[in-house]
Structure 1
Amino acid sequence: MPVTKAVIPAAGFGTRFLPATKAVPKEMLPVVDTPTIQYVVEECVESGITDILMVIGQGKRALEEHFYSSKEVEKRLEENGQFPLLEKVRRISEMANIHFVWQKELNGLGDAVSHGRTFVGSDPFALLLGDTILRESDTSQPILQQMMEIHEAKNASVVALEEVDREKVSRYGIAGGTKVSDNILALNQLVEKPSPEEAPSNLAVAARYIFQPGIFDYLSETPRGKNNEIQLTDAMATMMKDHEMFGFRFTGKRYDIGNKLDFIKTNIELGLTHGDISKELTDYLRTLAGKL
């Protein structure tokens, strides 16, 4: 069955960006001129997703405002003859059918995903973390779409994997498994933030998933784990004992705006690909580098 639904958890506080995120959701922090969450939604749409559920919480109303149409802004742009910008703004509310559900208490990623059960029903679905951008390098095909093709071929859940330095595995959920092809693994192990000695590999779970709807049953039976929260990785580790689950080692790069340094790096790297500022930014960086 083709995947046409996606769930995007976006309820976290973003404490590492305070005070900036006191009133602005971290998912709305801009990368060049576009909120991070919009890059995630665009990846969904380019991959064939038509219906999206965002799981939001306190202080996240700006996400709803961004994806609703703004007649006042559109009218002003039209009156000023700013038609290319008008088209950009109109497109935001027309990209997909976007719905919102409220996570009243922040009880972990697993709990946030559970809020999508009614929306998903009995269909397979995509899960994308709202503070992470993935960009492919060897193909114009979105990484999520490549995962969908694996899901369709295997009729099983699929997880995006990124190779990380061994000394950094303690920052991520790390997967282990048996190689099926050059970029696909049959997973048999998933460990949340292990030490380098305990890690089954250096392949980190990378913020993109395709799940069979059965994941909700495992989430409902998962006890609270680390930080007294319902951990998605715990439910996945149990699920893979009963059902096949595959890892997709994608070719590309992960941009995590969840911390300040990576956020700045992301703006620089994507800014260098942004036509109207790329040359001036390149010149500036060269000048700056000469002063360091």
Structure 2
Amino acid sequence: MPIQPTVAPIRKAIIPVAGLGTRMLPATKAIPKELLPVYDRPVIQWVVEEAIAAGIEEIIFVTRSGKEAIENHFDAHYELEHRLERKGKETILKTVKDIIPPHITIVSIRQADALGLGHAVLCAKQQIAGEPFAVLLPDVLVLDAANNPHGHSFAHMMAAWQQSGHGQIMVEQVAPAEVEQYGIADVNGSSIEHFASSPIHQLVEKPSPAEAPSNLAVLGRYLLPAQVMQLLQTTPAGAGGEIQLTDALDSLLKQQPLGAFLTSAATYDCGNKRGYLGANVAVGLRDEKNRDYLSKLISE
């Protein structure tokens, strides 16, 4: 029996947080959009917890001036912790003291100029140090069903990487009329089951409904081989004069397979008001203490 090649585990995740958050102004004039709360915690905390639950051990924030509050959120706040402990507020203390497990490393790298997602990923090249890596967009909340037997989508996609050794891009099914709002994965007409992966033929950026090869929309979760960093170094500026991650992934497809991993999770783009409102309602309805109140409020 032939020996299967060893697939390197993905331990590091890049989370680009240098955006200005213009779609959420004026709320984001002085507060980073990533710190806007979805129910009881900032949206960035939801994303970091998602990564850690999948086995990520190092979180790399690609940030800019004015975003220091994100780093502070994940750091210790000794005065606050001391006061809560002194007052015996142990439950509240636990929510602010144990955000990050002790074995997790968080580092920040500055992006000097907003030159696209591909450029933001490339900024972390030295920290990645030749390893495969994950990319998670901080605006997107991936909310798996509470009774989902597969567990978290991102963790299951990590398993698809381990089994195949090929990069993975999480996709969701969208209405055909909405495909022009997304990057779309062309899977040559293949049918994909939820929590399964299918080879990608090409990635098409915001096609018209008539030209879209599928309704599988890229939603901001990637597992990528180290080679992507080398491809980004030679990727010319594309749409909007920015270095696009999609362009580098198109180059990768000419050299090795890349899979589309289909999730059944509800997803919310918290970078706009509609998605942000939907995320808060969806998470709020999961809290037994406030579910009835929120349902009654909506019905009224």
Normalising by structure 2, we get a TM-score of 0.92
SS at match of 2:243: coil
SS at match of 2:247: helix
2:46 counterpart SS class = helix
Where does 1:193-204 land on structure 2 (aligned, <5 Å)?
A: 193-204=206-217
Question: Among residues 118, 121, 133, which one is paired with 1:113 in the alignment?
Answer: 121
Indicate the SS of the match to 1:204. Answer: strand
Query: How big is the shift at 1:52?
Result: 0.7
* Residue type at the aligned position of 1:77: L
Match of 2:247 in 1: 234
2:219 paired residue number = 206
- 8 Å contact kept, 2:132–2:226: yes
Mapped partners of 2:287, 2:119: distance in 1: 37
Q: Specify which of 236, 260, 266 is matched with residue 223 of structure 1.
A: 236
Residue range with higher mean Cα deviation, 138-147 or 4-13 = 138-147
The answer to whether the Cα contact below 8 Å between 1:180 and 1:186 also exists between their aligned partners in 2 is: no
Q: What's the offset of the Cα at 1:181?
A: 5.5
Counterpart AA for 1:278: R
Separation of aligned partners in 1, 2:122 and 2:262: 26
Residue 261 (structure 2) pairs with residue 248 (structure 1):
yes
Q: Percent of pairs identical after alignment? A: 39
Report SS of the residue matched to 1:127. strand
The aligned amino acid for 2:34 is E
Match of 1:147 in 2: 157
| Offset at residue 144 of structure 1 (A) | 1.2
Distance (whole Å) between structure 1 residues aligned to residue 54 and residue 64 of structure 2: 27
Return the offset for 1:258: 1.2
Q: Which residue identity is paired with 2:185?
A: A
Aligned pair partner of 1:171 in 181, 201, 207: 181
| Residues 131-181 of structure 1 deviation map (CA, whole Å, 9 limit, x = unaligned) | 111122333521111111111111110000100111111111111014385
Q: Kindly provide the amino acid, as one letter, of the partner of residue 258 in structure 1.
A: G
Q: Deviations over 1:44-87 (max 9, x none)?
A: 11111111101111321110110111001101111221101101
Match of 2:47 among 40, 49, 64: 40
- Kept after mapping to 1: 8 A contact 2:150/2:156: no
The match for 2:204 is 191
* Contact 1:69–1:93 (Cα < 8 Å) also in 2: no
Equivalence for 1:128: 136
As a proportion of its length, which structure holds more helix?
A: 1
CA distance in 2, matches of 1:274, 1:227: 42
Match of 2:32 in 1: 25
Structure 2 counterpart of 1:290 = none
Name structure 2 gaps, 5 residues minimum.
1-7
Structure 1: runs of 5 or more not aligned: 288-292
Contact 2:192–2:262 (8 Å) recurs in 1: no
Alpha-carbon deviations, 1:4-49, whole Å to 9, x = none? 1111111110101111111111111100110000000001111111
Cα deviations by residue, 1:213-258 (Å, 9 ceiling, x for unpaired): 1001111111111110001111111111111100101121111101
> Is the partner of 1:20 in helix, strand or coil?
coil
Is the contact made by 2:186 and 2:214 (CA closer than 8 Å) also made in structure 1? yes
Amino acid at match of 1:145: A
Aligned position for 1:6 = 13
Task: In structure 2, give the amino acid aligned to 1:78.
Answer: E
Question: What is the alpha-carbon distance in structure 1 between the residues aligned to residue 70 and residue 22 of structure 2?
Answer: 17
